[in-house]
Amino acid sequence: MSGSQRLHATRSDFQMAPGPNQGYFRNMLDVEQTASTSALTPTAGQFRAARAMLGWSQTDAARNCQVGLSTIQRLEAGESVGRRTLMHVIATLEWAGIIFLDAEKGRGILLNS
């Protein structure tokens, strides 16, 4: 899948997985291919805002993104994480309806409802 192709889904298409450590989606796709291909990494503020807009605690975000709590905390503090982990978190947030914005007038997020 090229970077310009997007998989379209709404928040109602998602259901919590039936067990611990199984992530947000019933069937996890290769999320690295669905993540935003923007040259710029979302800011710490964008990660915090995305989580808040989805109504997720840091623990919820860690579970839904299938990463450790410390990974979410590092992203929200503006610290670095591995590229593969970063792409995985971005893709999960995008699948949940977050759109990361990078525009001339500033950066932000939208929730695709």
Model pLDDT for residues 45-86, shown as the tens digit of each residue: 999 999 999 999 999 999 999 999 999 999 999 999 999 999
Q: Answer whether residue 4 is part of any domain.
A: no
Q: What is the DSSP string of the chain?
A: --TT------GGG----SSTTS-SSSS---GGGTS---SSPPPHHHHHHHHHHHT--HHHHHHHHTS-HHHHHHHHTT----HHHHHHHHHHHHHTTEEEEEETTEEEEEE--
By residue range, what is the domain housing residue 45? 11-111
Q: Which of 1-5, 21-25, 32-36, 48-52 has the lowest mean pLDDT?
A: 1-5
**Predicted structure pTM score:** 0.69
- 26 located within any domain: yes
In a domain, 1, yes or no: no
Residue 90 forms part of a structural domain? yes
Query: Count of domains in the chain?
Result: 1
CATH number at residue 29: 1.10.260.40
Asked, for residue 81, whether it belongs to a domain, the answer is yes
